[in-house]
């Protein structure tokens, strides 16, 4: 909180004395000479008629000069309580009056007016200080609300440095700091901080690299002392640097705050350099030139918010890694049952992601579709081996078991809330746009987009890889089958995205060490998707090879 007694915006000794001289001029009509009051050299009243009354004792001294003129001295007139150079002055002048009593009355009136004016100015300075304090408190309260809103708006997987970048500009303004930065607590192999540790910086200085080096040096020196509370360094009024801190030439003040919880440590929030005040001379005398407990408290509050979000982000990452591990374990368990389909789910997932990216879906949607690709066949765990691994045509009863696997997969995954977004893809990836699919015979765009993408990716991988009941076909033949089924079995928009990403999709098989397919030149190498769809004969091929 700002100390009102140190605000000297209205306390210039010269201005206050000029104002006092104006008051005396208004009362007596003459200009007084003002000199600093000296308590050890009191004047003596030279008036022969003086009876030693209280006027002399109260600082009004009169000497007659004859012809109705009086030599008047008023001692110890107040200037301003907060004035640095002088607290009181003596006023001397020759005034004209008919009697000594008239001079005394005028002098008393001048003293009273001066005291009242001094009090008015003092109260006005307090009012200004109060308004400034209220304004500052309101700005801080608004900032705390904005900070809370930023934290609430952040997703759990947003990195802490992203939140820091959002709040740093306003925090730096509140601190009146030249530079504010976040140093992440990651170390190189030799145990030293490096420039890459600086993950967020807000500065008005040009030499950012020097500031980063200085921040790294400060943390390296002070990290042990800063674990419990903020460290404040101010060198403006001190010739010696505390704690052997080496600040750059342009920086004379610094606050270092730890970002972390009791269980985890994430990094350091550092403010460097106090902005110069616009008030002449104020920063060279008063504490506004330095960082103090007020600035440290603001930074500690921000550090608590950052640490809380960082802890939540780490917890989210751990939960996500656990979920992905469980998913991969389930997929591996499925692949272990059938050596022919080993790697199928992983390849389908990667193909789905290629298609989703080509469709310009968001990063989150692409990840959800990738996860759906990994788990789309998890329901086959419920299919008996003699059906799943049969090397001949399926009987009607056996086919009924196969077509149940989307429902079984949906039932297996439904209890996991984190997998709710992928359930439509798992349940409907065998639907057809002409309504001849299963399990609900959905048509066209009523089929979820993730399921339409999965249908294309699943079919393509099933066509070009070997199965117990047939060998894999060439990639060109598989592409032709997909084209023939456009707007019948598969969504034409998804197929167009598939062929637009065909090179990336073929790379999936180049990277796969399982069953590389027979690679041919793509049938769309020389034309567009729409042209090839028109040129393909209207075959009535019913392709449901992905059923197994």
pLDDT per residue over 140-155, tens digit each?
667 667 777 766 666 6
Q: At what angle do helices 492-500 and 502-511 cross, to 10 degrees?
A: 60
Q: What angle do CA 186, 191, 192 make, to 5 degrees?
A: 75
Per-residue pLDDT at 351: 95
Identify the three-state secondary structure at position 467: strand
d(CA 202, CA 172) in angstroms, rounded, equals 8
d(CA 243, CA 212) in angstroms, rounded, equals 19
d(CA 334, CA 365) in angstroms, rounded, equals 25
The residues, any chain, with a CB within 8 Å of residue 136's CB and separated by 6 or more, are 2
- Domain architecture of the chain: domains with CATH: 4-130 (no CATH), 154-312 (3.30.450.40), 338-547 (1.10.3210.10)
Cross-strand partners of 270: 181, 256
- Reported pTM: 0.54
**Stretch (H or E) spanning 65:** strand 60-66
d(CA 255, CA 270) in angstroms, rounded, equals 6
User: Is there a contact between 122 and 80 (Cβ–Cβ < 8 Å)?
Assistant: yes
- Other C-beta atoms lying within 10 Å of the C-beta of residue 316: 14
Residue 183 DSSP class: E
CA separation, residue 35 to residues 16, 17, 117, 239, 416 (Å):
13, 9, 19, 36, 87
The residues, any chain, with a CB within 8 Å of residue 476's CB and separated by 6 or more, are 520, 521, 522, 523
Per-residue pLDDT at 295: 83
pLDDT per residue over 223-277, tens digit each?
777 677 788 877 765 554 454 555 666 667 888 888 887 777 788 888 888 877 5
Per-residue pLDDT at 469: 63
CA diameter of the chain: 141
Per-residue pLDDT at 285: 44
Backbone φ/ψ region at 147: left (φ over 0), alpha (ψ -120 to 50), beta: alpha
CA separation, residue 294 to residues 129, 287, 300, 351, 510 (Å):
16, 11, 10, 56, 61
User: Is there a contact between 136 and 42 (Cβ–Cβ < 8 Å)?
Assistant: no
d(CA 167, CA 541) in angstroms, rounded, equals 60
Residue 308 DSSP class: H
**387 closest CA partner among 376, 370, 402, 404:** 402
Q: What is the DSSP code string of 98-132? A: SSHHHHHHHHHHHHHHHHHHHHHHHHHHHHHHHHH
Identify the three-state secondary structure at position 480: helix
Mean pLDDT, consecutive 10-residue segments, the chain of 548 residues? 43 68 86 81 54 58 85 81 61 88 86 83 81 70 70 68 77 84 66 66 76 77 74 67 55 82 81 67 53 83 82 80 82 73 85 95 92 90 77 79 89 88 94 93 94 94 77 85 91 94 88 60 52 45 46
Per-residue pLDDT at 497: 94
């Amino acid at each position: 909180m700002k100390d009102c007694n140190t605000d000297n915006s209205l306390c210039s000794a010269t201005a206050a004395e000029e104002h006092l001289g104006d008051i005396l001029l208004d009362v007596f009509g003459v200009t007084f000479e003002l000199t600093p009051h000296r308590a050890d050299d009191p004047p003596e009243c030279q008036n022969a008629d003086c009876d030693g009354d209280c006027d002399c004792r109260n600082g009004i001294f009169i000497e007659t000069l004859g012809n109705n003129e009086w030599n008047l001295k008023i001692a110890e007139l107040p200037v301003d309580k907060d004035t640095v150079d002088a607290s009181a002055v003596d006023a001397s002048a020759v005034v004209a009056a008919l009697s000594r009593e008239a001079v005394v009355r005028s002098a008393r009136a001048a003293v009273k007016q001066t005291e009242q004016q001094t009090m008015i100015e003092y109260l006005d300075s307090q009012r200004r200080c109060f308004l400034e304090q209220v304004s500052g408190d309101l700005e801080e309260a608004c900032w705390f609300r904005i900070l809370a809103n930023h934290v609430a708006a952040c997703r759990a997987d947003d990195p802490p440095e992203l939140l820091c970048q959002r709040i740093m500009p306003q925090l730096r303004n509140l601190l009146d700091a030249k530079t504010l930065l976040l140093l992440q607590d990651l170390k190189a192999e030799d145990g030293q901080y490096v420039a890459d540790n600086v993950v967020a910086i807000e500065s008005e200085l040009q030499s950012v690299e020097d500031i980063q080096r200085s921040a790294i040096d400060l943390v390296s020196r002070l990290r042990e002392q800063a674990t419990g509370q903020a460290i404040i360094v101010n060198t403006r009024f001190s010739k010696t640097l505390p704690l052997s801190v080496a600040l750059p030439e342009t920086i004379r003040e610094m606050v270092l705050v730890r970002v972390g919880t009791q269980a985890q440590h994430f990094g350091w929030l550092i403010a460097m350099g106090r902005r110069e005040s616009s008030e002449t001379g104020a920063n060279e005398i008063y504490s506004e030139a330095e960082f103090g407990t007020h600035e440290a408290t603001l930074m500690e509050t921000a550090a608590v918010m950052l640490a809380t979000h960082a802890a939540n982000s780490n917890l989210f990452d751990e939960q996500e890694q656990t979920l992905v591990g469980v998913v991969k374990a389930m997929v591996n368990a499925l692949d272990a049952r059938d050596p022919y389909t080993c790697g199928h789910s992983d390849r389908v997932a990667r193909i789905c992601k290629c298609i989703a990216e080509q469709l310009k879906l968001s990063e989150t949607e692409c990840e959800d579709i990738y996860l759906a690709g990994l788990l789309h066949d998890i329901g086959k765990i419920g299919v008996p081996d003699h059906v799943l691994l049969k090397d001949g045509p399926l009987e009607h009863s056996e086919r009924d078991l196969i077509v149940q696997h989307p429902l079984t997969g949906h039932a297996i995954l439904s209890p996991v809330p984190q997998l709710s977004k992928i359930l439509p893809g798992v349940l409907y990836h065998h639907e057809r746009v002409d309504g001849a699919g299963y399990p609900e015979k959905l048509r066209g765009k009523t089929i979820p987009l993730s399921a339409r993408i999965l249908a294309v990716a699943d079919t393509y991988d099933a066509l070009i890889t070997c199965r117990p009941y047939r060998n894999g076909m060439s990639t060109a033949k598989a592409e032709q089958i997909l084209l023939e089924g456009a707007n019948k079995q598969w969504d034409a928009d998804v197929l167009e995205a598939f062929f637009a990403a065909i090179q990336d999709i073929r790379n999936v098989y180049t990277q796969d060490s399982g069953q590389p397919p027979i690679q041919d030149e793509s049938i769309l190498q020389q034309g567009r998707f729409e042209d090839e769809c028109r040129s393909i004969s209207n075959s009535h091929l019913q392709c449901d090879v992905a059923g197994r």
